[in-house]
Amino acid sequence: MKLAMAGLLTFASAILIAPDARADIKVGVVVSGSGPGSALGQPQMRTIAALPKEIGGEKVTYIALDDESDPTKGTQNARRLVIQDGVDILIGSSLTPVTMPMLDVAVESKTPIISLAAATAIVQPMDDRRRWAFKVVPNDDLMAAAILKYIAKSGIKTLGYIGVSDGYGEGYYKEVSRLAPQLGLTVTTHEVYARADTSAMGQALKVIATNPEAVFIASAGTPAVLPQEALRSRGYAGKIFQTHGVASEEFIKLGGANVEGAIFTGEAFTIADDLPANDPFRQVRDEFVSSYEKANGASPNIFGAHLWDAVTLFKRAAANALKTAKPGTAEFRAALRDELERGKDVYLNNGLSTMSPTDHNGYDERSAFLIKVEGGKFRLVK
């Protein structure tokens, strides 16, 4: 029995590392098409139809799987993609809690992974586990620093906090609690709720009881409406700040008047129409929107742009990697990883990306735009 098991393990390892050179490039996509993260994953699923079908003269095949917003399912999908499908790169997941265990699959199989989630912990601190991981969504520490500086400059001194009880919310709270004292801000509460909750009234009442001048909500997609709706329904009249995770039309449609006035730092995609026509960020957005609308007959949102940007980075890296190795080989995957790390001044919907061996996110404050919900639209705060 032991010999049989050893044989199986050896066979599985061989599948992971054996060369299988081929002409076409395989891209494994894992997103949260269902479950609490579906507001992010569904637009990403629809974006696949708009992606390039050829890179560097080679055909590109996309294999997309739904992780159901579940970390275990996401890991299973990632293993299937690298073992059974032999993908050259992994893209996903939509959510931080699902992405984190997928990093282990990436490092074990030496397959680069580009996450569509937001938490800084996906790419920092740089270590052997994260050496194969990259991320297109700006780090929460970058966005948190930008919005907290704005809050402090506006004269606010006390700030309530409500966030989702996962890596995204806790990542933001870590940055808010670290940076707030440096900026003269006092965080009065640390309330959390689950993405799948149907109410955040209890958390809102606890925040209101501390009488903060403003409230910071760290959530994403439509679940971010709950705390703001609860605060307003209980008569809270102070300013409410959100994160870039709310940058979708669904947030505005569901929140209505309750989310008017919400301010956050977000990506260029969200306010591209407020930029000059020749602005590189606007031109990147226009290319994505045109391709998406042609494929789907509808307009995309920022979550779909995350996948488009990931493939934009991959496309540049693959074109160069093809000069040294063939798809389906360990050499090609390693070359992809190295080329992703060399990307410089790449304009994306999410920001201006310059990767390095120590920075696998690649953005600075030039990628953080101050945005406000005004008149039922996202507008650039000038």
Beta-strand relationship, 263-266 and 346-348: unpaired
Beta-strand relationship, 89-92 and 113-115: parallel
At 193-236, the pLDDT tens digits run 999 899 999 999 999 999 999 999 999 888 999 999 999 999 99
Quick check: 288 and 307 in contact, CB under 8 A? no
Helical (H) or strand (E) element with 41: helix 38-47
- In single-letter form, the type of residue at position 360 comes to H
DSSP 344: -
Instruction: Answer whether residue 5 shows pLDDT above 60.
Output: no
At 28-85, the pLDDT tens digits run 999 999 998 898 999 999 999 999 999 989 999 999 999 999 999 999 999 999 999 9
Q: How far apart are CA 81 and CA 3, in angstroms?
A: 27
pLDDT band at residue 167 under the 50/70/90 scheme: confident
Instruction: Answer whether residue 19 shows pLDDT above 60.
Output: no
Q: Tell me the backbone φ, ψ of residue 381, rounded to 5 degrees.
A: -85, 120
Entry pTM: 0.83
Q: How far apart are CA 337 and CA 89, in angstroms?
A: 9
**Mean residue pLDDT across the chain:** 93
At 279-295, the pLDDT tens digits run 999 999 999 999 999 99
At 321-375, the pLDDT tens digits run 999 999 999 999 999 999 999 999 999 999 999 999 999 999 999 999 999 999 9
Measure Cα distances from 220 to 44, 161, 172, 243 in Å.
15, 15, 12, 7
At 176-195, the pLDDT tens digits run 999 999 999 999 999 999 99
Quick check: 243 and 143 in contact, CB under 8 A? yes
Mean pLDDT calculated for residue range 85-90: 98
pLDDT band at residue 20 under the 50/70/90 scheme: low
Residues 6+ positions from 46 with CB-CB distance below 8 Å = 292, 295, 296, 300, 304
Can you give the pLDDT at residue 7? 37
% residues pLDDT > 90 (the chain): 86
DSSP letters along 162-190, please?
Answer: EEESSHHHHHHHHHHHHHGGGGT-EE---
Q: Which two tokens stand for residue 300?
A: 């995309």
DSSP 356: B
Residue 377 or 2, more confident: 377
Residues 6+ positions from 207 with CB-CB distance below 8 Å = 160, 161, 162, 188, 189, 191, 215, 231, 236
